Amino acid sequence: MPIKRGVSLYSFQNETFQGRMTLEDCIRTCAEMGANGIEIIGEQTFWGWPEVGVDQAEIDTWHRLIAKYDCVAVSHDFMLDYKRYKGREMPFEEQVASVKKDIDFGARLGMKYIRALVSIAPEVLVAAAPHAEEKGIKILIEVHAPLHFDHPWIIRHAEAFEKSGSDALGFLPDMGMFLHAFPPVWKEKFMRVGVPKHIADYIEKAYADRVLSEYVILNVQQMGGVGPAIAMAETLRHNAAFEPRRMLDYMPRIHNIHGKFYEMTADYIEPSIPYDEIVKVLQQGGYQGYICSEYEGNRWIEDVMEPDSVEQVRRQQVMLATLLGEPTPQLRAAA
Amino acid sequence: MMDNKMIVEGSLETSDLGFAFYGRLPYYRGLGLSMIEDIQITVDGDLIPRADVRFHVRGKTYTLDQMETIYDDRWNFGEKAKIIAMKPGGLPPGDHKIEFAVRMRVSYLPFVPTTKDTKVLALAA
């Protein structure tokens, strides 16, 4: 089975926040791009979730829209606010109960997966796994920069998953961890908030040369960099250029992919994330799930322009369709 | 994110008790009210004391201290909440520079972000 294309509605946050796109607009837009896998952040798409709850009428509307546009419900991304109580962490049993509630919500929405944030402890997910199995849901921890597949925290998760013996536990890698060039939209934003051009150029070059982030930070200090210049250098700490092939050891537990991107150029290139290599690795590993677009350039440009999230996602879908060997004429004609 | 969309344009109103405007949470999701750590309002450079700030959403009004233990209500994604400053006499007609800052406790972040928006809003005579 080939790799499938989808979209996380997170991508359209700038439009949905302002009420400029409805849920139906989002789903129709994805369907028109041939990206029929739909991922949501439950509490972004459904007001009230989780503290207040969601009426059945809204769930019915969701199912009606998914059917109307011939889409597939892929993942409900949940948050688990273990800092809900000021000054004390949510107790373990309550965290497990909260995850079970999100499993139930995912099942109501017809999802295959629910996404767990990377900061959640493996013991919590292991304790919730039997409930997930009963509901036919897999819980996927999102492996997201600055974490990566060789980080001890992720290895702890992997070991706990194996020990549990449950196949309801897995991974959802975010492709941002494979950043291989300093994103132009980041550099431009840092320059707008005061980073001198020669320092911004140096940081971009140092990233390309894979210089250790701590050396870059010191050098920027010695170049006279302050405030935003240090902040720009510090992004290197959290965005090392990891190798896509590190996913190969974990393929049996990788069930969904966040197609993170910061910018798609008019000629269908993401300048900072190596999607050609990523797709090759996923194909080599026999991946058969979705790659869901996750546009995150919005926050880097919104101070100077209104993001055009739909056009950005369309361009990424053209790129993905091309890399996957699909025909793209309809996608190219759209706009 | 959404910094420049926090204060809703054209939403400033006044009364004898104070003034109010519509505000949105600068975040890609909503938050339970217990995780809103602080809301700061300044008008024309004057800070409104924390005890004089009210948060009003879907018919319910809370003080910031009350919000800290509200576990069954939310500030939803993109939802316009009425942000109220108790200020006897309200504001005179004309332009007013409003600053609106929200500090939120986000479970997965290794810091506690504060996000701010500043806008000049007009109050009709």
- Pair A302, A166 in one domain: yes
CB burial class (10 A; 0-12, 13-18, 19+) of residue A88? exposed
Taking the CB of residue B48, how many other CB atoms lie within 10 A of it? 20
Q: Give chain A positions within 8 Å (CB) of B80.
A: none
B74 has a chain A CB within 8 A of its CB? yes
Alpha-carbon distance A327 to nearest alpha carbon in chain B (angstroms) = 33
Show pLDDT as tens, one digit a residue, over chain B (125 residues): 889 999 999 999 999 999 999 999 999 999 999 999 999 999 999 999 999 999 999 999 999 999 999 999 999 999 999 999 999 999 999 999 999 999 999 988 888 889 999 999 999 87
CA geometry: angle at B54 spanning B51 and B57, to 5°?
155
Residues A275, A258, single domain; the answer is yes
Find, in chain B, the residue whose alpha carbon is nearest to that of A117: B108
Task: Kindly state whether residues A113 and A150 are assigned to the same domain.
Answer: yes
A18 contacts chain B (CB < 8 A): yes
DSSP B92: -
Q: Where are the alpha helices (DSSP H) in chain A?
A: 13-17, 23-32, 42-45, 56-68, 92-108, 122-135, 152-164, 184-192, 197-208, 213-222, 228-238, 275-284, 298-301, 309-323, 329-333
Helix (H) or strand (E) holding A172: strand A169-173
Query: Are A50 and A106 found together in one domain?
Result: yes
Q: Tell me which residue range forms the domain holding B54.
A: 3-120
Query: Tens of pLDDT along A208-244?
Result: 999 999 999 999 999 999 999 999 999 999 998 999 9
Q: Cα torsion at A264, A266, A271, A274 (round to 10°)? A: 70
Q: Domain containing A206: what range? A: 184-237
Select from A309, A241, A322, A311 the least CA-distant residue to A279.
Answer: A322
Nearest CA in chain A to B35: A84
A56-68 and A23-32 helices, crossing angle to 10°: 20
Interface confidence, given as ipTM, is 0.95
pLDDT along chain A (335 residues), means of 10: 95 97 98 97 97 97 98 98 96 98 98 96 98 98 96 96 98 97 98 98 98 98 97 95 96 98 97 98 98 97 96 97 85 56
Cβ contact B114:B101 at 8 Å:
yes
Tally of CB atoms within 10 A around A268: 20
Contacts of A85 in chain B (CB under 8 A): 34
Chain A contact for B111 (CB, 8 A cutoff): no
Write out residues 6-65 of B within 8 Å (CB-CB) of A: 24, 28-32, 34-35, 37
Q: How many structural domains comprise chain B?
A: 1
Instruction: Note whether A97 and A147 are same-domain residues.
Output: yes
Is A44 touching B (CB cutoff 8 A)? yes
A134 and A273 in one domain?
yes
The pTM is what?
0.95
